[in-house]
Amino acid sequence: MSARPGVLVARAVFDDVVDRLRVHFDVETNPSDTPFSKAELIARLQGKRGALTTGSERIDAEVLGANPQLRVVSNIAVGYNNFDVAACDTHGVLATNTPDVLTETTADFGFALMMATARRIAESEHFLRRGEWNKWSLTMFAGADVHGATLGILGMGRIGQAIARRGAHGFGMKVIYHNRSRLDATTESALNARYVGKAELLQQADHLVLVLPYSAESHHAVGAAELALMKPTATLTNIARGGIVDDAALAQALAAGRIAAAGLDVYEGEPAVNPALLSVPNVVLTPHIASATIATRRAMANLAADNLIAGLGFGPDAGRPPTPINPGVLPLRP
Ligand code: 8YV
């Protein structure tokens, strides 16, 4: 039997990143890139000390209980709602994520999706492709201005702040935000951002962007009651997580013209998308690609590999993984 620790790479990852893992570990990969079922994930993890996961793999008490030898779960994502961190603590398992490396790329996409939504880019492109464009007219696909408008940000972490910078400094937007904790005065003034209550954020924003982590508290943070507070001319953009928006309520609000338009990169129960959203024209829909540039996805995969290697006690940073979620479990049990 090999003395090298075994690790599972749960989804297809860049070959050179897997090669970095092979220097230290016996690596099992998933070349088909089909997400494992829970039972298969549990089976594939048998005997493994570590796993490289994505948002598709749920690591919970059942998975951890069935694999007591597991020591490190390294997510290729900044969000980690697929991890039960309390269960990881209980089992002495280190959980890690990939913050920072995706901030600017994700903010670029959030801004692009917000602009596409405000300026009706997808809706008008579909119209053109359907061959329906037979004359120019003054108000054809007239949308809402982005420059000078009020940008509302719900969740003001790293990505929220990067979106605020783009809005305030690139587009002369008035930035308001709501967050669990208020930013310090220096950061607020650098971003030209004003802290407001959630109701005021909903009422005042011309373009509302959601960038908060998903948790039991943020489930359906934007539902029918919140949508009812928004301006009928407003747009809503969700690049955070499915489940933060009540997708059924949003589809109804869009169909009724309760708000002007929405841009969604994430969905409740994705990759399934609520069919009601597919049938309303005033929504731009993308398949969870906010961090998807080659450079950023490579940086995420490499940071996840760094975490796995160091977490399992190898490489120059042995025992000191760069971005732990629950560093309290360190040093790990043998
Ligand atoms: C990931 C994301 O690509 O980092 C996150 O939290 O949502 C995306 O950047 C996705 O979660 C796959 O793991």
- Ligand 1 contacts CB of residue 77 (under 6 A): yes
What pLDDT, on a 0 to 100 scale, did the predictor assign at position 2? 56
0.85 exceeded by pTM: yes
Q: Is 98 exposed, middle or buried (0-12, 13-18, 19+ CB in 10 A)?
A: buried
Angle of the 294-311 helix axis to the 103-118 helix axis, nearest 10: 140
d(CA 44, CA 34): 13
| Nearest alpha carbon, ligand 1 atom 6 | 79
Whether residues 117 and 65 fall in one domain: no
- Which residue's C-alpha comes closest to atom 9 of ligand 1? 291
Residue 146 is predicted with a pLDDT of 98
What does each C-alpha distance from 318 to 64, 252, 322, 328 come to in angstroms? 23, 52, 10, 16
Q: Which domain holds residue 14?
A: 6-101+294-329
> Is residue 202 within 8 Å of residue 223, measured between CB atoms?
no
**Same domain, yes or no: 134 and 270:** yes
The closest of 101, 225, 106, 82 to 155, measured between CA atoms, is: 106
Tell me, yes or no, whether 324 lies in a domain: yes
Q: How much distance in Å is there from the Cα of 288 to the middle of ligand 1?
A: 8
Alpha carbon of 149 to ligand 1 centroid (Å): 29
Closest of 291, 285, 293, 250 to residue 266, by C-alpha: 285
Give the CA dihedral 129, 133, 137, 140, nearest 10 degrees.
Answer: -30
> Atom of ligand 1 at shortest distance to CA of 76?
13
Residue 334 lies in a domain: no
Query: Do 114 and 236 fall within a single domain?
Result: yes
Residues 16, 158: one domain?
Answer: no
Q: Are residues 40 and 141 in the same domain?
A: no
Which atom from ligand 1 is nearest to the alpha carbon of 97?
4
Which are the catalytic amino acids? Answer: 241, 270, 288
Say yes or no: 273 and 142 in one domain.
yes
Q: Could you give the number of structural domains in the chain?
A: 2
CA of residue 141 to ligand 1 center, whole Å: 32
The CATH number of whichever domain residue 228 belongs to comes to 3.40.50.720
Walk along the chain (334 residues) and give the pLDDT tens digit of each residue: 458 999 999 999 999 999 999 999 999 999 999 999 999 999 999 999 999 999 999 999 999 999 999 999 999 999 999 999 999 999 999 999 999 999 999 999 999 999 999 999 999 999 999 999 999 999 999 999 999 999 999 999 999 999 999 999 999 999 999 999 999 999 999 999 999 999 999 999 999 999 999 999 999 999 999 999 999 999 999 999 999 999 999 999 999 999 999 999 999 999 999 999 999 999 999 999 999 999 999 999 999 999 999 999 999 999 999 999 999 999 999 9
178 and 316 belong to one structural domain: no
Task: Please indicate, yes or no, whether residues 275 and 301 belong to a single structural domain of this protein.
Answer: no
- What's the gap in Å between 320 CA and the centre of ligand 1? 23
Query: Does the beta carbon of 211 lie inside 6 Å of ligand 1?
Result: no
pLDDT attached to residue 3: 80
Quote the pLDDT of residue 1.
44
C-beta separation of 221 from 128 below 8 A: no
